[in-house]
Amino acid sequence: METHRHTEATCPRCLSALYYGTKAEPSCWKVYYLCSNCDWEVMAGRIGRADISHQDELWERAESLGERWVNND
């Protein structure tokens, strides 16, 4: 899974930086968030393939799903 580092979101368990990645499903992309330090990992949401026309859009949408883990101290 290709992952990108989120610039602001931090792990709710250890406050380390988070990475996010996408997995292709037949009708959508599943977005995963994972910690760079501990084993915390969640499936943050799904993005419909019809909603995405460029790969860049997919990564922007995936990044926005991580806003719930910004300033989570």
User: What minimum distance in Å lies between the beta carbon of 17 and Zn ion?
Assistant: 9
In degrees and rounded to multiples of 5, residue 4 shows phi and psi of -120, 150
Q: Which is nearer to Zn ion, 8 or 25 (CB)?
A: 8
Beta bridge pairs of residue 31:
22, 45
1, 8, 13, 64: residue in contact with Zn ion (rule CB under 5 A): 13
Strand order through the sheet with 28-35: 3-10, 17-24, 28-35, 41-48
Decide: is 18 part of the binding site for Zn ion (CB under 5 A): no
Q: Which residues bind Zn ion (CB under 5 A)?
A: 11, 13-14, 16, 35, 37-38, 40
